[in-house]
Structure 1
Amino acid sequence: MPQHILVPLDGSAHGFAGLEYSLASFPDASVTALTVVDPTRDHTAAVGASESPQERAENRGEEILERAAERAADHDREIRTLLRTGRPHTEILAVVTDDDIDHVVMGSHGESPITSPFLGHVSETVIRRAPVSATIVPELAAALHERDLPGDLLIPVDGSEQAEAALAYALETFPDGSHTAIHVLELPFDQSAAVEGTDLDEIRAAAEDRAEEILA
């Protein structure tokens, strides 16, 4: 069960949905909301503006984190907030390592006036590079509120250690959910082809036997 969750926020509705999911799904975990600003990509600058790009970016970041704290208060929770400057995926991964994060929750994509939309390609990078488990939330908060979490969980398995770890994580973290393990046969020929009595039939039978072993 995750103990310290990191939720990157960029001000988008999808980002805040990730926060809502974390608060609802992990009631006993500590939560850190992170906003990353990059003043070099500020597209809201105006001629004669009194604020520097750095100040403007930081102010907007603080506004996002204040909203995050308010969302947490609605759940009777307190969260830690963190503002950093740099490239989003680099800073997210650095916080994971530096702050002993054991799970990351992100919205599937986002849109922010601070830099440019970063949830999306950044979430993919974090999933690939983070040394901890991660959850990507594709729904908005309103949709999350309409269903009971964790609900039905689908766990693809292929016999690898990573797949076994994912299955173990799902069972341990969401014991009250409905779990379905699925293994997909990938055959080197069209499944609709007539293969009975041929070498391809043996290949299919071997693949099916392997699938039964994985799902057993």
Structure 2
Amino acid sequence: MVDPDRVLVPTLGRPREDEALAYALETFPDADVTLLAVVTPLDAPLSEGGVLERSEERTARARASATDLLESVADPTATERIRVETADGRPGTVIPQYASTEGVDHVVMYGHGTDTSGFVRRILGRGIAATVVERTDEPVTVLE
């Protein structure tokens, strides 16, 4: 496998996403990395829940959270090859769409939901990572 030029690391504001970013930076030291803050719709089952917040406030909060994640993980010399973007929508749709339209070569993400009980997975549906793997043409590394 050839090392990718463009790597996508989606973030939903969930625990352990710092591991996905650290992995991407270490494994692909020459790649440009996009940290994509996905803002889940309020009516989605996995929404972060800001019911009274306006869309702009939720997007600004997601971008700030992703920027904080970047600053906590990345070496200051590496930040020149990392950009933070935001996208609104359901993660299982937005992430594959972004990867295909933005020329991403590889996706690295934490396996959201893999540590939940089978009961929770049945209620919420299958994990986001499984959906992304199925819908993305580019290689996807899922960390657990």
Identify the residue that residue 21 of structure 1 maps to in structure 2. Answer: 23
Unaligned stretches of 5+ in structure 2? 114-123
Identify the residue that residue 141 of structure 2 maps to in structure 1. Answer: 135
* SS of corresponding position for 1:40: coil
Correspondence 1:1-216 to 2 at 5 A:
1-41=3-43, 43-45=49-51, 51-52=53-54, 54-71=55-72, 73-74=74-75, 76-78=77-79, 79-109=82-112, 121-138=127-144
% identity of equivalent residues = 34
* Contact 2:42 2:50 (8 Å CA) reproduced: no
Distance 2:13 2:107 in 1: 17
TM-score (norm 2): 0.76
Distance 2:24 2:58 in 1: 26
* Contact 1:9 1:64 (8 Å CA) reproduced: no
* SS of corresponding position for 1:74: coil
Structure with more contact order per residue of length (Cα contacts < 8 Å, sep ≥ 6): 2
* SS of corresponding position for 1:13: coil
Distance 1:36 1:108 in 2: 15
* Contact 1:5 1:30 (8 Å CA) reproduced: yes
C-alpha displacement at 1:31, in angstroms? Answer: 0.4
Determine which structure has more spread, i.e. the larger CA radius of gyration.
1
Identify the residue that residue 192 of structure 1 maps to in structure 2. Answer: none
* Contact 2:6 2:104 (8 Å CA) reproduced: yes
C-alpha displacement at 1:12, in angstroms? Answer: 1.9
What code does the residue aligned with 1:66 have? T
* SS of corresponding position for 1:131: coil
CA displacement 1:56-97 (0-9 Å, x = unmatched): 321221122211331354262121111011111111111111
Distance 2:39 2:62 in 1: 7
Number of aligned residues: 126
TM-score (norm 1): 0.53
* SS of corresponding position for 1:132: coil
C-alpha displacement at 1:105, in angstroms? Answer: 0.2
